[in-house]
Structure 1
Amino acid sequence: MPIPASSGWFDDLESGSREGSVIPRQSGSHVHRSLLAGLAALALLVVGLVGVFIYAGMKQDEKATMRERLALLASLQAHEALIQQAMATADEERQVLRALASGDLSQLDERFGRRLNEGFGFEFVYIVDAKGDVLYSSERGKAGERKAYGWIRPAIGRLLAEGRAGHAGLIASREGAGIMVVRPFTQQVEDIKAPQPLVAVTVDLLDDTLLQSLAAPAHLQDIQLRTGRGASNHPDKVGTSVPNLYDGTEAELAWRGSQPGRNLFRNALPALAVITTLLSVTFLVMMFRALRVAAALAESEAQARASASRDYLTGLYNRGYFIEALDSAFAGLAPDGRLVLLFIDLDDFKMINDTAGHGAGDVLLKAVGSRIATVIGDRGVAGRFGGDEFVAFFPASDASEIDLLLTRLQAELRPPVPDGAGEIRVAASIGVAEAPQDAISASDLMRRADIALYRAKDTGGNTLCRFETQLESERNARREIEGALGGALERGELVIAYQPQVDVASGRVVGFETLLRWDHPRLGRLLPAQFIAMAEEMHIIAGLDLYGMRRACTEAAALRGMSISVNVAPATMKAPTFAAEVAAILADTRFDPAMLEIEVPESIVLNTSDELSRTFAALRELGVGVALDDYGTGYASLHHVSRFPISRIKIDRSFMVKACTDPDVAAVVEHKLKLARSLRINVTAEGVETREQLRFLREIGMPTAQGYLFAPPLPIAAAIDMLRRQDEAQQVPARGGAQG
């Protein structure tokens, strides 16, 4: 049964509009009074039109100013990010600290100060200790110069005292102004006696050239930096405040505003006069006709609106009417009021429809709609957008009132719904956004409630998530990555990194795992965890995998007989043509199949399809090995492994983290090694990061390992250099023995 309409303020508004729209038939003096009222209304309309036009122009100016402010702040943040990236490029931390510790200031200046000054044009570069005392300085390319540090030091001292090392922002005083980035070193060096951690400081002087470059993306004119109250109050000047790291106050960046609304009003004033005249004449003509048809039209419109505003199944308001109600409530929100919007989505509703039938699905929708309407009551509005998407909003006076209603809603939705044949479990994800703290318009409020709902479903569903600014940033970043991922191959942005695999007993490099990296033009280097799952969702993972394999086989020819392992997604390997594509890559690159190993997640061995078995057999005929990655984290056992020609299992790094402290985990690792040996399967331990872990692996006889203890993933040139140095290190003892 549809839910009856509530008797709250929103229904009063609706019924009032229906009754007020009925115009009775008039004659004689009533008609004259109506005409006079119409003329008065026309005059008000003209005044209102002019007022609206002026107001719209003012709003347009406000929006233009807001866009200019946001664009300028974005430009400022982009420049801070540029300095951060430049420091990350110049900051070869180990070499810089080594040069500082040894007192080799010429090498330090070459590697750090001059690179930032001459390479990027940053005027002031310092390295200071934890108390703010200078250990190294370079001002305008002059090493050892410290003339400007006097007006910079108060800001550094404040940041260090407040524990905000790693901060960036504007610094301005009477002596000068600039954009400062403070970057702490992550390592500590015992040879350096100064208080640590040490901090690298870079300041880009905020001169007219830099001001203009910051203003250029926003198309701002006459930009100035103001640090006092005595600046000009020109009516065309607008500005935005930014924190001043110098003394904790605020500085102002001011510029001449574009004011498109004011200019538009000046240009449109003649046209507005003509339109007003035409409107007056048209109004008088149409008024007589409107009086004759208004009554019938108002009545039919009220009836149509009443029937069109409700959802046919649940009796809640439908999408169009709900949005109108939300707009109205948002417009009438008091300055100290709160408006809470809920997006409610049922989890696994499609599965309920598919398994229990659409009738059961309708019963569930009606019950959920009734429960939501009961909780919201007369205080707000509940609606259904279609399918299993429910919405509601309500005003609130404080946070405790909001928490109480949300708790009650979750409790109300929790009980199962009887459907005649049994019970249907109710699981709902809820996204919550609140005005004015989360949004300044109804459309923004809806978008941010949807973002919160997306996070609630993404974390497993059957939960409530409130909107946070971080959620929108994450979604925007995800959309940016998704939008650029499809063309990353064509643009040549994907590269291969090589992580050494080491013989545990001797410490020699015996192979490399190849790892895909994406050099995004704006976001920098992205790791597989940031884009591989998206590639699988977009069904382009096979192209990335095969590209990575082809490039690795091409580059690995320079690794002099080293084996390589290439990661492949399950969807790629399950393709019927996978084995043929691997054979084509080997033929084109002339890479030795015996030196190639394909890494797949351990879950793939749970697949018992004939197609996958044929793929494994074809790879074995080619001479290509198959390794199970992250072994031990899923449900695959060595019983599953034995059904396929697996050449290697890789013990997941999560076991290495606990192996030296948890005897049970250590026993599991040793047991897996023994079972693998009994099946004549090679074993590699992943994620080895400490000497203690390496000693444990040697004690149990682990053959190979990889991890940051040996080396991080390297560019091909660095991998080649590692092998060269390894060969040279072995040749030196050999020559010494021959001489003796």
Structure 2
Amino acid sequence: MEQRFWTAFQGGIAISRPSGRHVHRSLLAGLGALALLVAGLVGVFVYAGMKQDEKAGMRERLALLAALHAHEELIQQAMATSEDERQVLGQLASGDIARLHERFGRRLNDGFGLEFVYIIDAKGNLLYSSENGKTGEQKAFAWIRPAITRALAEGRAGRAGLVASKDGAGILVVRPFSERADDIKAPQPLAAVTVDLLDDSLLQSLAAPAHLHDVQLRTGRTATNHPDRVGTAVPNLFDGTEAELAWRGAQPGRSLLRNALPALAVLTTLLSVTFLVMMFRALRVAAALAASEAQAREMASRDYLTGLFNRGYFIEALESALAGRAPDARLVLLFIDLDDFKLINDTAGHGAGDLLLKAVATRVALTIGDRGVVGRFGGDEFVAFFPAANAGEIDVLLDRLQAALRPPVPDGAGELRVSASIGVAEAPQDAATASDLMRRADIALYRAKDSGGDTLCRFETQLESERNARREIETALGGALERGELVITYQPQVDVASGRVVGFETLLRWDHPKLGRLLPAQFIAMAEEMHIIGGLDLYGLRRACMEAAALPGMSISVNIAPSTMRSADFAQQIGAILKETGFDPARLEIEVPETIVLNSSAELSRTFEALREQGVGVALDDYGTGYASLHHVSRFPVTRIKIDRSFMLKACSDPDVAAVIEHKLKLAQSLRINVTAEGVETREQLRFLREIGMPTAQGYLFAPPLPIAAAIDMLRRQDEALPDGMLRAKAGGAG
């Protein structure tokens, strides 16, 4: 309307001027209509907001009750998994409380976090107790017993629900034993009872799926009268009354009203201004100039590719936010850097890189929302800051941001895998000025990337000293090889069926003159960044081939960085080292990360083939942690895959993980690929590997990485355990 008016004015079209009284009447009529319109809109918004709040509260109640029920079922499953009724009753009858506690009460406490575990008879008398993993403790049983007694008296054994008193609160599950224990002189049937304490941590975890905040448990029938809180009644098994779970509801309707009412006020003002502008056309020129200036300022503050704020505006906004921050208010700064973005640009092209940057910008902006400011400093560097009321609010938003960044980005020809490293610094605890806060967020980002990427790191004071220490390590690393500070250790690889050593994995160590022995994780990434990793790899390979002459019949595997293996003459270098040391190629295995097969090239394929032609084996290390499938692996002459230790950690507690390991083993065997399980640390894990037919394994259960002298001694002692040199024959055949 304003633009049409200004065009008519410049074209010389005459605009009639109404009389003063007519203008006064029109103004009053327009203002009256405007007031009626605003009142109507407010009424509609209030009604819609009340209805929306009512629906939201119902959804939150159902979601919280569903989460509570799901947790009860989880406790039931934990009890079913942990108890072997016949074994438990037998140990109870025999008085073997220590073993009963180890396999039942303590397992439920340590493995599933269930604080209180009891066994009772049919009258509620206590036969066994475990509180916080300690057998014989009965401090909490006093406030739990009324709920158990009530359940037994009402014939509701097997009941699960909430028990809450002035002494504590928790989720109670009573699970009767299906078998009778005639050897135990107590009323039958016996029952297992467990209680998961309903503390703040558990309350928040139950509330998390429904995105509820500040969940509290209240006993009695006190209603939730606070306008910002929502509650739902839950039966209390302690005294038969009802307890209440109350939380700070989302109340989208109220939020909508809070957001809409200022907008309505702005709308009213704009309409009034527009109405007055129609009467006073001279104001049009000033409004046009102001709009033009605002548009120019907006364009100057934006990044051309993503539309986010650029470096200059972002820093200015950050300084302003810090200056206006209340003394006790929190302001969180994020530095976000994409992992392997250069590789995507180089392999998929700059068009795909730009598409990825736009997608990431959108995801970050949507996650942060209107509460904060998001910018791009250039390249793949994104920044954001936002205020937060408490640490929980920060954690929720950071979790949402990480989840939003991980899905792949479609680019028409496929998908672009994206991961990001995030550094976090917080005002006022980490810094008070924009420059200091940015420097410390950058230090946290550096640590996140140094940890392997796809992770988040918060700034801590020691990170600065660690960064200085890292620089000291980087300075010394360049001459470590010449000074003879690098040594080789040997971790045994064992035949699972017989327990005999059949080979060794060689691992590089750095004996730093000041810091002592450093593990590969502390310097290999630096060596890659300094482009000296190739020299370290070839040194370790040559040294291993020389020393392994004292390990007859044993295979050895040597870790090689992907960048080293991608060098054009790698296979020729291997051949030269084998010729120089006289080492048997059939006993040598090169270990590379599984991700190397995902970013393979024709040159890399030829290197694989050249190694196999020489008789050298190729193993994929850390298998299962990336995206490589055995379909990818089968396209390369791989001789072995090594199941990553992260799978072994869960193999005996998670049936799904155990099934995955067994499936990978069978599929690899069908492709005639050897399999080794890494990170074996317990006899329970070893029994599992034997049951599924895993051929070889390594880990601290057998031995840590050893010096060459200790490895030789281990083989000598093993030889002495077998007559007539049978060990050599077995080891040579398995290798």
TM-score for the superposition, normalised by structure 1: 0.45
TM-score for the superposition, normalised by structure 2: 0.45
